[in-house]
Amino acid sequence: MRTCLVVDDSRVIRKVARRIVEDMGFEVTEAGDGLEALAACRAGMPDAILLDWNMPAMDGVEFLRLLRREPGGERPRVIFCTVETGLDHIRTALDSGAAEYIMKPFDSDIVQSKFALAELL
Amino acid sequence: MKRDEIEFVAEVARAAAGLSIDGEPPYVLETRLGPVARREGFGSIREMLVAARQRREEKLLWAVVEALAVGETSFFRGMAVFRRLAEEMLPAAAATGRAGRPLRVLSAGCGSGQETYSIAMAVDEWGPAELGPRLELTGADLSHRALEKARSGLYTQFEVQRGLPIRSLLRHFEKREEMWAVGGRLKATTRWRRQNLLGDLKPLGRFDVVFCRHVLDGMDPAARERALAQLIGVLGEGGHLVLGEDEAAAGTAGALQRLGDGVYRRRGGARAAA
């Protein structure tokens, strides 16, 4: 089964996202910020990462840059999922190695569409 | 909605645009017609239909038809066919006829324009560079409201996240407050026409490629046949007709060669065969 790490500091959003991603056939693990996410990736690289931007301890972009320097860290397809909708933010995310970008609020159609665009489905 | 109301609406939709609403559950019709009734100042769908029936008022009847004609839409719906358009169909067309002639594409039943703009983006992103400036794109739909939105090129954050790759959003759209606006270059390639597919399409001219996806399957069989004949009529020899992946151009084997996944090519006439 393919795996997805859902990273968001909101437990509610993690729960909503988890259900959507599980319905697409992924096994889901959760992390509450970038540091936790990095630890989770070191324990086992997921196929996909749904990644919030603004989080305590370590934000999404910082996590992504560090992830890409980890052994095997180039493999996960990363989809940002954030309230940041500025063009600068989107560009920064893509330049840091994200495959796709979701602007909150999201629904299952959007998540599914973005996973398909990121060639995860 | 009561049975007689549904029958009345079905008859209006069929007569005006060949739409078939058979098998649509009443709640779907209510979801579509409720906003029309409110917008037109009626207390209920029933009141609106009584007025429409008594007065046979064109504008009101069309508002009903337009609301029923709205289909599901997203950017790059069925992504693969847009690549085929840019990488195969248009390059093939570009090699025929007068050098440098315009390459004309019709997006028939374009709704609020997602398909039409996807065609323009596909040509820009995947087509040979010399094709872009030759593209002449027409979006046609019978809904005045849908065309207005298409022409505005303004989409909500939800709409630009259905089917549209984030890199295409960055490349072709500008953020305008809470909305996303199609950029000027894309808009300049496109013109919009109000057009009923049951009407005469000849005034639109001839096309190298005609997209008409997920439109015919909402029509009754007689209307579908008539619309198909019209679409084939505006297709140049060797031109491509693109339907939805699961739609078939029944009864057109003499005129069209089936290429698969809803794509057809118009057969050459006697001259081409000679």
User: What is the value of ipTM here, to two decimals?
Assistant: 0.95
CB contact under 8 Å between B175 and A113, yes or no, is no
Percent of chain B with pLDDT over 70: 98
How does residue B210 score in pLDDT terms, banded at 50, 70 and 90?
very high
The answer to whether B161 contacts chain A (CB < 8 Å) is yes
pLDDT at B64: 94
Indicate whether B271 pLDDT > 60: no
Measured CA distances, B137 to B190, B191, B192, B214 (Å): 5, 6, 9, 19
CB contact under 8 Å between B157 and A87, yes or no, is no
pLDDT at B189: 94
Average pLDDT over residues B177-201: 96
Indicate whether B68 pLDDT > 50: yes
What is the total residue count of chain B?
274
Indicate whether B135 pLDDT > 60: yes
The answer to whether A106 contacts chain B (CB < 8 Å) is yes
Query: How many Cβ atoms are within 10 Å of B241's Cβ, its own excluded?
Result: 26
How does residue B269 score in pLDDT terms, banded at 50, 70 and 90?
low
| Separation in Å, CA of B162 to nearest CA in chain A | 6
Query: What string of pLDDT tens digits covers the 121 residues of chain A?
Result: 999 999 999 999 999 999 999 999 999 999 999 999 999 999 999 999 999 999 999 999 999 999 999 999 999 999 999 999 999 999 999 999 999 999 999 999 999 999 999 999 9
B258-268 per-position pLDDT tens digit = 999 999 999 98
Token pair of B154 as six digits: 């303004």
Token pair of A102 as six digits: 């979701």
Q: Give the number of beta-carbon pairs within 8 Å between A and B.
A: 33
Indicate whether B29 pLDDT > 80: yes
pLDDT at B23: 86
pLDDT at B273: 37
Measured CA distances, B14 to B22, B34, B57, B64 (Å): 10, 20, 17, 12
pLDDT at B270: 45
The answer to whether A24 contacts chain B (CB < 8 Å) is no
pLDDT at B139: 98
